[in-house]
Structure 1
Amino acid sequence: MIENRWWDATRDRRLVVQRCPCGHAQHYPRELCTRCGGTDLEFADASGRGTVDSFTVVHRAPSPDAEVPYTVARVRLAEGPIILTHLDGPGPWTCDEPVRLGWRPLPDGRHLPVFTKDA
């Protein structure tokens, strides 16, 4: 499955986006280019830089093991695509704030991409 290739890259702490020969970059991974419908997509490393597009602070845990509060955000990557992610570190957060990539380890060896303030 195509999304497995994305998750496999996180094992090496690599954030990848799909690129199409038409010049379009996209995230989340799909079988078709969302601009031209092409199928000749390749994964390319992202820079790890972006800006906060929108965010919300969650104060009510969706499960007993979730630590609150936490911040969920849309981050527009420097390459163009938007990724839904967590913001790590102290607030306050603002829209259009520059952020950089960090990683949170998962029990199976993969890593979850998270973003922190870009100092």
Structure 2
Amino acid sequence: MSTRLAPTISRDTEFYWNGLREHKLLIQRCSGCGKLRHPPRPMCPQCRSLSWEAIESSGEGTVYSYVMPHQPRFPFFDYPYIVVLVELSEGVRVLSNLRDIDPDDVTVGMPVEVFYETFEGASGDLVLHQFRPKGLQ
């Protein structure tokens, strides 16, 4: 288990981090217009409603974009590592890491699925979503 920087958790994002601890990838759905949104925020950018509910994502999606950072090197990452923008099947995009694949084999549009990993955080254990090519277990 490697150490990671702890996220800043607010009233608006607490549901999201609690969901990850339960191995659920939660996204917001506006109660006013039904639009899905991520990252979490208090107001719907579409209709400006403050009412929303959390729905569980299937955790399946495709690689929308990716990058492999090289500098600065952080001690809590194994290099090379892949930062990926995943377009979930629900239509919203999430930023994460892509694991269990050679960096040369990553392609835009490839199907991926979520899994959860526990890291040591500054304030205890931290559960984060990670992605891997679909079909790996």
Q: Distance in 2 between matches of 1:62 and 1:4?
A: 29
* Counterpart selection for 2:107 from 76, 82, 94: 94
Find runs of 4+ consecutive structure 1 residues off by over 4 angstroms.
Answer: none
Q: Distance in 2 between matches of 1:60 and 1:31?
A: 34
1:61 is displaced (CA, Å) by 4.9
1:101 is displaced (CA, Å) by 0.6
* Residues matched between the structures, number: 119
TM-score by length of 2: 0.81
* Aligned-residue CA RMSD (Å): 1.4
- Which stretches in structure 2 are left out of the alignment for 5+ residues? 1-10
Amino acid of the structure 2 residue aligned with 1:105: T
User: Where does 1:37-116 land on structure 2 (aligned, <5 Å)?
Assistant: 37-91=48-102, 92-107=105-120, 108-116=124-132
Q: Identity over the aligned pairs, expressed in percent? A: 30
User: Where does 1:10-49 land on structure 2 (aligned, <5 Å)?
Assistant: 10-21=20-31, 22-49=33-60
1:58 is displaced (CA, Å) by 2.4
Match of 1:7 in 2: 17
1:79 is displaced (CA, Å) by 0.8
Q: Distance in 2 between matches of 1:9 and 1:23?
A: 20
Contact kept? 1:101, 1:115, Cα under 8 Å: yes
Look up the SS of the partner of 2:18 in the other structure: helix
Which structure would you say has the larger RCO, counting Cα contacts within 8 Å and 6 or more residues apart?
2
- Which stretches in structure 1 are left out of the alignment for 5+ residues? none
